[in-house]
Each structure stands twice: as structure tokens, then as C-alpha cells.
Structure 1
Amino acid sequence: MELEDKISLYYTSLTKSEKKVYQAVTKNPQTVIDNSIQKAAKELGVSVASIQRFINKLEYSGYPEFKLALQKQKENEKYSPSNSNVNNPIIHAYIRSFHLLENLNLDEFLRPLIKDLKKYHNIKSIGNGNTALSAKQLVYSMYSEDKFLDAVDTSIKIDYLANSLDKDILLIIFSVTAPQNTYGKLVENARKQGVPTYLITMNQESKLLSQVSEAIVLPSTHVEHDDNTLHRVDSRAVLYVFAEMISYYYAVGLK
């Protein structure tokens, strides 16, 4: 997977210093390719520790593998025709996100979810703020399959739901960052009650990932400027498409 694609998968969890490392590295890849991590850090104006944290965040085995990835990306850029991201950066960003989504292994998440959607009748599609619209999209998508879901779309409703769970409820949570302060109590109570909980997020580091029944991390969407800084683009389009995928596979099944 190319560095740019990895950034799409890990963007939500990148810290300010890690984004600074990405900007410096992609602006001057040869500095990393030709030098030790100590010398590269000095020339790029970042710390060795921040480079190491960035490498670990993107799940490279170490600095040598990271250097090889940069070398490969540089060679691909040299021999590949220019793409459309200069004139249409937003379109290019979404195309990249959807391409990554297409190539994710979705079966492990979707198979048990579809099975539970068919099994349960009291189903809550949950989102807060912007992702409330994604939760509602799943509700609307399932109407065509004669399946009714309740939308839980505010923090107040989420708090009430956390205190009124029973074993006959199925929870599906849409959240870009999956913050503990919003969903921690709900997920904890669901676990105590034996309530199956499915988390759809874009945050590789959310603590909720290990607390829910099933979770999937989708690619977020971003644009890289000419100076290699990153600009976040609204990722709800990816969540909308995933909601449609759930509805589709509910109707036709998984092969």
C-alpha cells in the first residue's frame, strides 16, 4: 500500500506533529531515502522520535521499510502520467477513498452484521453530529428492504439509550473518531447486557475498537496541497456508501 493510501486510513488518528513529519517527508523524500533517521530528522527539522512515531502509526516495520516505501512511491510518480488531483483535488480525494474502501476485507465485519440484522427486530442506528446523517442514511436504505431501524441521532438520545438497553437490542454506531466520552457508557453497558454492538469508524486508535462486538475502520478523505500539508475533506460520503453496502448485502447476501 502506498504512503498516500496509508495516510487515508490513518489520517483521523494522526497528531499535529505526525502531520508535520508527513509534510516534511513528502516534500523532501530523498532526504529520508539517502540518510539515517538521525540525519534525516536534523535536515527535515523534526525529531527522531516524531519520525519513529509516524512510522509506527502507519504500521511500517521500521525505518528501512519506510525508506523503501518512499523510494517506490517516488519511482511510481516518475513513470506514471500526472493524475487529476491538481485540477480536481476533491474528486481525486474521494476516488482514492472509494478505491481503498473497495479493496478492504469487509467480510469479517459484514457477515455477522447481516446475520444479526436478520435476527434482531429492535435495531438502533446511531450517530452524533455530522455522523447522525450517516446513521439516518442506513435507516432510509433499509426501508426498501422492509426493515425498520430506529435512528439515535443526538448525544442526549445516546445517553438515554445507554440506560435503557436490553438483550433484544442491536446497536450500529457510525462515528468518524469514535470518542470515548460520547459512546463509552453506551458500549460498556451494551457489553454488560450482552448487546451486540457494531462500530463503523475512521479512527485506528479509538479505545472503543476493542470494546465492541465488531468494528471496521474505513478510509477517511483528505487533500494534499502543493506544500504537502493535508486538508481534511468531509468523510460522510464514505459512510453513506458503506450504509448502502450494508443494505445491499442484507438484500442479496454475501458470496
Structure 2
Amino acid sequence: MRLQEKISIHFTELTKTDRKITGQLIEKPEILIQHSVQEAANLLEVSPAAIMRVAKKLKYRGLAEFKQSLEIYQSEMQNKEEKSETHNFSKSVISGFKSQLDAIEKSVSEKDLEKIVDLVKKAKVTRALGIGSSGLSAEQFVYSLLYQDHYMEAVTSRTKIFYLSRILTADDVLIIFSVSGNSEAYSEIIERSQKTGAKLVFITMNHDKKLKEAAEVVVVLPSNITDFSVSHHLQQLDNRFAFYIFSSMLAAYIDNGELD
């Protein structure tokens, strides 16, 4: 996975210091490519441990893999046409969302949408789940359904999700929103669903083999990758945009399915 995608997917997990490190490395990747971690830390005015923490949060196996990813990123940026220092910032943001719309259209399968609707139609209870910012997407999905006169509960608390895992039955369907696709966050849910036959649907932006094994449907949406060549600081367009678009599409499909 490219560096930009990793930053986009794990952006909400980065602290202010993490973003400072990542932003400076995006602007000058040679700081870490050409120096030891101690030397890079001195140049960035942080500790070596802080750099290693960023690498870990971006799911790199170690410093060497992080450096390799920076080298690939640097090469990609060097091959890009030089852009003007003056640009219309609002247009660049709109252009980013337009690009993501095109990417969403290519990644969403009609077959997956129909399969999810079929699962919901057959379920006795369907819930939308999400933790953190992904929880807001679960709530947005529920809100979209209310416009269609369909009610669905949103479960966005870790505690409630844990207790929900203890009462799942074969008649339940859970639609889970997770940018990172971290299966560990839903380990109890996955384990219980495998025992009871409850159906899981994951809407994510990251491939995870465990999700594919556990879920009836896994929809992998594109993360909103910022064009880092436009600006000299780390900036992230909201990944929930893709969830919002997909939620609207799925809500329309559910309404078209004429659920009771």
C-alpha cells in the first residue's frame, strides 16, 4: 500500500506530533531516507522513538520498510509535473472530492449492494456499527434511512458493541463501518457471529483477510488521498465522505427493496 493511502487510512490515529513528523517527511522525505533515525530525529526536533511510533501507527513492519515507502513516494513526486506555487485552494479541495467520487463509482459493485439489501430484508434486526469517526458514518447511514421511513439502530460505543456481541443471533445483521478495517476492534463480534450465524457486512477502506473470512460482504472504498504536491503541509480530506456517498447509495437500494 502506498504511503499516501496509509496516511489517509490511519490519519485520525495520529497525534499532533505524529502529524508534524509525517508532514515534514512528506515535504522532505530525504530527511529519513538519507539519515539515521537519530539524525532524522534531530532534524525534525523530535525523539527517535516518536519516529518509530509513526512508522508503527502507519502499520510498517519496521524503519527499513518505512524508508522504502518514503523512497517510492519521493520518486513519484519527482516524476510529477511541477505545479505553480499559487493555486486556488478551494478548487483543489473540490477537485479532491471529485476524484474520490470517480474512484467510488469504480469500486462499488452492484452485486454487493444487492447482496446487502437481501441480507437486510431477511434479518429480524439490523444494526449499523462504528467506532470513533467511523461511528459518525454509522449514524449518518441510520439518518439516511430515516428519510426513507426505515429505522435502524446505530451502535457506536465500544462498551455497547462488546455487550452486543453477547446477544447476537442468527437473525441479526450488522453493517460495520471501519476506515482502518481493524478486525481486532470487532474480535468479539466476529467470534460470536461465527458461532451463531449472525451476518456481518464490513464497509472499510483497508483490505483485511480476517474480514473477508468473517463477513458475508466486504466493501472496500477508496481512501481520500490528498495530493501532497499541492501544499507543503500535511492535509487530509475527510474519509467519511466516501462512507456518506456509499450510505446514501445503500439507503436508496434498501428503500427500493421495499423493506417492511
TM over 0.5: yes
Residue pair 1:184, 1:208 contacting (<8 A) in 2 also: no
2:152 corresponds to which of 139, 149, 157: 149
> Residue 12 of structure 1 corresponds to which residue in structure 2?
9
> Residue 221 of structure 1 corresponds to which residue in structure 2?
224
- Partners of 1:115 and 1:203 lie apart in 2 by 24
- Partners of 2:10 and 2:212 lie apart in 1 by 13
- Partners of 1:188 and 1:21 lie apart in 2 by 40
Residue pair 1:21, 1:50 contacting (<8 A) in 2 also: no
Residue pair 1:132, 1:153 contacting (<8 A) in 2 also: yes
Q: How many residues align?
A: 224
Spell out, residue by residue over 1:162-195, the C-alpha distance to the aligned partner (whole angstroms, 9 max, x if none): 1111100011001111333421111121122111
| 3-state SS, counterpart of residue 233 of structure 1 | coil
> Residue 158 of structure 1 corresponds to which residue in structure 2?
161
Spell out, residue by residue over 1:211-246, the C-alpha distance to the aligned partner (whole angstroms, 9 max, x if none): 322111112224325466642232222211211110
Q: Which amino acid aligns with 1:175?
A: S
> Residue 196 of structure 1 corresponds to which residue in structure 2?
199
Shift of 1:7: 4.3
> Residue 119 of structure 2 corresponds to which residue in structure 1?
116
- Partners of 1:163 and 1:213 lie apart in 2 by 20
1:183 maps to 2:186:
yes
Counterparts of residues 36-185 of structure 1 (less than 5 Å): 50=66, 74=80, 77=81, 86-185=89-188
Q: Which amino acid aligns with 1:236?
A: R
Residue pair 1:12, 1:202 contacting (<8 A) in 2 also: yes
Structure 1, unpaired ranges of 5+: 28-40, 56-62
Residue pair 1:124, 1:170 contacting (<8 A) in 2 also: yes
Spell out, residue by residue over 1:37-79, the C-alpha distance to the aligned partner (whole angstroms, 9 max, x if none): xxxx779x99985576679xxxxxxx9xxx8x889x74xx58x
Residue pair 1:170, 1:197 contacting (<8 A) in 2 also: yes
Identity between Structure 1 and Structure 2 (%): 26
- So what's the TM-score if we normalise by structure 1? 0.67
- Partners of 1:86 and 1:176 lie apart in 2 by 26
Q: Which amino acid aligns with 1:110?
A: L
Q: Which amino acid aligns with 2:243?
A: L
Residue 23 to residue 210, structure 1, CA distance change in 2 (3 Å): farther
Q: Which amino acid aligns with 2:160?
A: K
Structure 2, unpaired ranges of 5+: 41-62
Residue pair 1:177, 1:201 contacting (<8 A) in 2 also: yes
Residue pair 1:10, 1:204 contacting (<8 A) in 2 also: no
1:241 maps to 2:245:
yes
Q: Which amino acid aligns with 1:178?
A: G
Spell out, residue by residue over 1:3-56, the C-alpha distance to the aligned partner (whole angstroms, 9 max, x if none): 8xx94598426999999887668x9xxxxxxxxxxxxx779x99985576679x
Residue pair 1:225, 1:231 contacting (<8 A) in 2 also: no
- Partners of 2:145 and 2:86 lie apart in 1 by 37
- Partners of 1:168 and 1:245 lie apart in 2 by 24
- So what's the TM-score if we normalise by structure 2? 0.66
